[in-house]
Homo-oligomer: A and B are copies of this chain.
Amino acid sequence: MFETAEVGNHLEKSDYKRQEPKLRTALLEAQRALAGSNFSLVLIIGGVEGAGKTEFTNQLLEWLDARGLAVHAWGAPTDEERKRPFFWRFWRILPPKSKAAILLTSWYSEPIVGRVFKETGQAELDQRLDQVVEFERMLVAEGVLLVKLWLHISKSEQRRRFEKLEADPDARWRVTKQDWKFHKRYDKFREVCEHALMKTSTGEAPWHIVEATDRRYRNLTAARIVLDSLERRVEESRTAAKPEHKPDHPKPKVNNVIRKLDLGLKLDADVFDKKLEKLQNRIGTLTRCLSKKERSLILAFEGPDAAGKGGAIRRLTQAMDARLFRVDSVAAPTDEEKARPYLWRFWRDLPRVGRVTLYDRSWYGRVLVERVEGFAAAQEWRRAYAEINAFEEQLAESGIIVRKFWIALSADEQLKRFKDRQGTPYKQYKITEEDWRNRAKWDAYEAAACEMIERTSTEHAPWILVEGNDKRWARIKILESVVEALESGL
């Protein structure tokens, strides 16, 4: 694969001088088009040590307008990063629509280096690369233009450069022990990279390998790839049909997991009181252990309006130290959230190790309300199941215990509760016009929920269906499930 970048490409100074101004103008024009567009640019600059990743970046920064452009590079993770899933640090810096980010290290760096120095096995690397492919596919689908450049030089060229730099007193610092360690492992590095690039060169985000021996050739070629990608994307977004946003009202099956629930299940008040106290004590004890065991807990609550999500959440939070948990009530996204992939808002506030986040509604809005009301296009909610599964897998992998509750309710019981809310002063705020409107789409929501449960109930993040007509029954079932989850996870 890298042979194609060891063929002696180079560019004369005169040619460079002739081509550079035009390229620069075109780059600026493309950047302006980006600034007015509905996509963002993420440019990954990978490559062999010494190939000039930083040098090329500096050149690009000179050609482009620094406004709306951020350069990122990561060293060892900070403790805030270590306490969250692998991809968190990258989600943190995702540029909003119309802006660009240059990544000098990326989600490729750690897996590749880990493999080269044999800290991780081949299977582990492949697993991570599979995640990377999923992650990138999601980014692209959500409107990120992902350009991946690989700057290549041969082993002998690398040695030549390191030696030359070391001979120069002003540049000596650029060559570190680490660099020579990499040089020794050049062949292994090349092999691992070849494998990684092959696996992740996808239709939506291919790798572009650039021969980096001649600086002029490298700069112009790499910049042209960026330019072409930008121009193509601008053109596409101009001509592409806008995805249609229309409500989707699926019909529920006569027999489905929700209808099969026995909504007559009940619990007596005195049994409830005893159980509640015991379970709350247990939850208090268990959540205090999360930190020591380096785990955290995410609980998501979904269900029809008035199903009792808030009440169940309160019974849980009563049991916990207020410093350990956070309740996230998912409302309309802010403009910063709207300008990024829809999972961004959940990533940005992920609990760190030892903490609990309870979501009153969650990322499942994508396949429930956004689907039914037509806030998301069909292709958006259709691919969301896989994206959500990948997301939750990453959470689980990093040590987060994930449980999702669907609180079911009969239509009659909902009506009763709506009326009750309207009659109780401190409950009135809970009921809005929208609740009545949503009620009219009962069947569509039920069918959407069934599909959601079917497609996203996984071993590492199962859905727990809760019979919700009797609040006491529902709350105890939820608390018991949380205890179970904590006991098996800790």
Q: Interface of A with B (CB < 8 Å)?
A: 21, 24-25, 28-29, 32, 54, 57-58, 61-62, 65-71, 73, 78-80, 102, 104, 170, 173, 281, 284-285, 288, 310, 313-314, 317-318, 321-323, 325-327, 329, 331, 334-336, 360, 425-426, 429-430
Q: List 26 A-B contacts (CB under 8 A).
A: A25-B425, A28-B426, A32-B429, A54-B321, A54-B322, A57-B322, A58-B317, A61-B314, A61-B317, A62-B314, A62-B318, A66-B314, A66-B329, A67-B360, A68-B331, A69-B327, A70-B326, A71-B322, A71-B325, A73-B322, A73-B323, A79-B80, A334-B335, A334-B336, A335-B336, A336-B336
Q: In the complex, are the beta carbons of B66 and A310 less than 8 A apart?
A: yes
Extra 10 A-B pairs, beta carbons < 8 Å, given A54-B322, A61-B314: A25-B425, A28-B429, A57-B322, A66-B317, A67-B331, A78-B79, A104-B323, A173-B288, A334-B335, A334-B336
Known: A285-B173, A322-B104, A334-B335. A426 touches B24 (CB 8 A): yes
Q: In the complex, are the beta carbons of B313 and A66 less than 8 A apart?
A: yes
Report the bound CA distance from A21 to B68 in whole Å: 52
Report the bound CA distance from A430 to B173 in whole Å: 36
What are the residues of chain B within 8 A of A104 when measuring CB–CB? 322-323
Q: How far is the CB of A449 from chain B (nearest CB, A)?
A: 22
Q: How far is the CB of A108 from chain B (nearest CB, A)?
A: 16
What are the residues of chain B within 8 A of A58 when measuring CB–CB? 317-318, 322
What are the residues of chain B within 8 A of A334 when measuring CB–CB? 334-336
What are the residues of chain B within 8 A of A170 when measuring CB–CB? 281, 284
What are the residues of chain B within 8 A of A24 when measuring CB–CB? 426
Report the bound CA distance from A173 to B288 in whole Å: 9
What are the residues of chain B within 8 A of A173 when measuring CB–CB? 285, 288
What are the residues of chain B within 8 A of A32 when measuring CB–CB? 429
Q: In the complex, are the beta carbons of B25 and A65 less than 8 A apart?
A: no
Known: A21-B426, A25-B426. A360 touches B66 (CB 8 A): yes
What are the residues of chain B within 8 A of A430 when measuring CB–CB? 65
Partner of A78, one of B68, B70, B80, B360: B80
- Please provide the 3 A-B residue pairs with the shortest distance between their CB atoms, ordered closest to farther: A67-B329, A73-B323, A25-B426
Counting chain B CB atoms within 10 Å of each CB, which of A65, A102, A285 scores highest? A65
Q: Which residue of B lies closest to A277 (CB)?
A: B170
Report the bound CA distance from A71 to B320 in whole Å: 12
Q: In the complex, are the beta carbons of A71 and B426 less than 8 A apart?
A: no
What are the residues of chain B within 8 A of A67 when measuring CB–CB? 329, 331, 360
